[in-house]
Amino acid sequence: ADGLPLIRAVNSVSLVVEKGRNLGVIGESGCGKSTLARVIAGIHPAAAGDIVFDGKELERTAKKRSQDQLREMQIVFQYADTALNPAKPVEDIISRPLAFYHGLDRQARSKRVDELLDMVRLPRTLRYRRPSELSGGQKQRVNFARALAAGPKLIICDEITSALDTVVAAAVIELLKELQRELGLSYIFISHDLSVVEAICDEIMVMYNGQRVEQITPDKLQAPT
C-alpha cells in the first residue's frame, strides 16, 4: 500500500563516506551488502531514500544520472570473469571509458592504456591479451584499470578479493592503497572478510538482515568486549 517492496534487502541504511577516506561494509552472506553497493551505483534503484554524492542528490537509477556523475562513481565487482568481455583484448576493455567519458582519439587512448596498465602494475604487453589468457589477479587489476580510466572520485569495491588467494588479495589491497595516495580516491569496500576491511578502511559499517547495526573504527573492532 505504501509503494515499497514486500521484501526489503536493505532497509533504512544510512552511511557517510568522506573524501579521501574509506568505508568498509561487512556482514554475513545475504545481509544486503552487495545490494547496498548496487543501489548506491544506481544499478538497483532504491524504493525510497536519497543518495547524495559530492553535495548533489543523485537519481536512483544510473540511466538518469549525468555522464559526470557516472564517471565519478565507479564499481568493481567480485567476479572479474563476468565483468570483462571475453571477446575483447585488454586494450579495448580499458579504452572504452576513455572514449565514452573523455572522448579521446585512438592515439591518445593507446597512450593512456599504457599509463593505466603501469598504474595497476601490469605489463604493457598484456594489452593484446583476452581475459581468458589472464590470471585471476590480473583480471581484477584490469577491472581496476578500467574503473580508473573513467577518472573517478569514489570506487565501490564489491567483494573484489574474495575470489583471489590470500597472497594475490593482499597485493591488490596494497595496490589500492597506493592508488589512493596518488589519486586521492575514496573507496566503499564491501566484504565479509574482517582482515581485508581492517587493512584498508578508516571506518567499518556492520550490517545484519538488511540493516545497519553499527559503524565503528577498525581498532574498536579488535577491542575486547
b/e 3-15 (16+ beta carbons within 10 angstroms → b): eeeeeebbbebee
Q: What pLDDT, on the 0 to 100 scale, is given for residue 184?
A: 93
pLDDT at 13: 64
Nearest-angstrom CA–CA distance, 123 and 104: 22
Q: Is the dihedral of CA 182, 90, 79, 164 positive or negative?
A: negative
| pLDDT at residue number 93 | 97
Amino acid of residue 89 = P
Q: Please, is 85 exposed, middle or buried when counting C-beta atoms within 10 Å of its C-beta (0-12, 13-18, 19+)? A: exposed
* Cβ-contact 197, 24 below 8 angstroms: yes
The pLDDT score that the predictor gives to residue 109 is 97
In 3D space, the residue among 138, 166, 146 whose CA is nearest the CA of residue 81 turns out to be 138
With contact defined as beta carbons under 8 Å apart, do 72 and 54 qualify? yes
The stretches in the chain having pLDDT less than 50 are 1-9, 11, 224-225
Amino acid at 203: E
Q: What are the C-alpha distances in Å from 12 to residues 22, 31, 39, 216? A: 21, 13, 12, 18
Domains of the chain, each with CATH number or no CATH: 22-87+150-222 (3.40.50.300)
pLDDT of residue 8: 44
- Which pLDDT score, from 0 to 100, does residue 9 have? 44
Q: Which three cell numbers stand for residue 67?
A: 555522464
Q: State residue 104's pLDDT score.
A: 96
CB 219 within 8 A of CB 38: no
CB proximity list for 59: less than 8 A, separation 6 or greater: 42, 65
